[in-house]
């Protein structure tokens, strides 16, 4: 569990707990199927059980935990169908976003994306998977922000826990990080050239990179998956 010092006592506890717990679930620090103790979390974070319960309810809405009243709370198993639905939603939104941004290239946005891409390249040969995944998310979030669609980013993020866990299981695979960097480079360069169709095609390839390997990921980690 995270330590109590991670909480800012000048801010509401429940939203902070939600973000902390969500990050630990998505990053696989809390593995699918793991039990979460409300009493233990209350003691460790030095808060009452009320904000803990509120955070867990939000996570349940995101389908990242399963709450069994008067019994237990467990990190949800990965639901491949839910991941596929989220992929469909995200692809539909981002294809339109990258098209609009490519039609009117913004030098400021392109510079910010280039900086994130440089950070990813620096992390490419290390084992900092969490930092790399954060940079990956930042790359996409910047495009939503530039398009004035941050509300849609929040919607996609609220549904992305299952597919993000799939990606994080896949991230250590040989060549995966290099492929992500290559995909982002191709998307950015197409946007810089003002080529919306090329940017869309590179984005479509990029977003499908994990689901292509879901069978192998599932075979390698069967205990983390819900029964289809």
Check residue 55 and give its pLDDT: 95
Single out the residue of 59, 210, 39, 228 nearest to residue 133, CA to CA.
210
**Which of the residue ranges 7-11, 89-93, 177-181 has the most confident prediction, judged by mean pLDDT?**
89-93
Helix/strand/coil for 66: strand
The string of DSSP letters for 154-175 reads HHHHHHTHHHHHHHHHHTTSTT
Q: In which residue ranges of the chain is CATH 1.20.120.530 found?
A: 80-224
Query: Domain 4-75 is of which CATH architecture?
Result: Orthogonal Bundle (1.10)
Average pLDDT, integer, range 160-186: 94
Q: What is the CATH number of domain 80-224?
A: 1.20.120.530
Arithmetic mean of pLDDT, 89-115: 97
- pLDDT category at 4 given cuts 50, 70, 90 is very low
pLDDT at 3: 44
Residue 92 has pLDDT above 60, yes or no: yes
The DSSP 8-state label assigned to residue 76 in this structure reads: P
CATH 1.10.10.10 range(s) for the chain read 4-75
Average pLDDT, the chain: 92
CA distance 23 to 205: 26
User: For residue 226, which of 214, 212, 213 has the smallest C-alpha distance?
Assistant: 214
User: If you search the block for the tokens 């040969």, which residue do you land on?
Assistant: 125
The 3-state DSSP composition of the chain as helix, strand, coil percent (nearest 5) reads 70, 5, 25
Residue (of 206, 196, 207, 201) closest to 100 by Cα position: 196
Q: What is the DSSP letter of 11?
A: S
Query: Which residue bears the tokens 């030095």?
Result: 46
């Amino acid at each position: 569990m995270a330590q109590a010092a991670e909480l800012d006592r000048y801010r509401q506890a429940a939203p902070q707990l939600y973000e902390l717990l969500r990050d630990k679930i998505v990053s696989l620090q809390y593995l699918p199927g793991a039990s979460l103790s409300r009493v233990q979390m209350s003691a460790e974070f030095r808060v009452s059980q009320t904000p803990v319960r509120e955070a867990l309810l939000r996570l349940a809405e995101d389908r990242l935990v399963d709450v069994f009243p008067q019994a237990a709370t467990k990190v949800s198993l990965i639901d491949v169908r839910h991941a596929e639905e989220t992929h469909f939603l995200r692809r539909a939104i981002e294809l339109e976003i990258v098209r609009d941004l490519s039609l009117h290239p913004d030098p400021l946005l392109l510079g910010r994306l280039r900086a994130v891409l440089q950070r990813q390249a620096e992390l490419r040969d290390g084992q900092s998977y969490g930092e790399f995944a954060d940079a990956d998310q930042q790359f996409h979030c910047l495009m939503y922000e530039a398009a004035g669609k941050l509300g849609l980013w929040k919607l996609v993020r609220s549904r992305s826990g299952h597919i993000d866990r799939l990606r994080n299981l896949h991230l250590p695979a040989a060549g995966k990080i290099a492929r992500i960097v290559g995909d982002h480079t191709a998307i950015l360069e197409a946007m810089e050239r003002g080529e919306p169709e090329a940017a869309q095609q590179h984005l479509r390839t990029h977003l499908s990179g994990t689901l292509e390997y879901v069978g192998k990921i599932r075979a390698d980690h069967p205990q983390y998956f819900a029964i289809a």
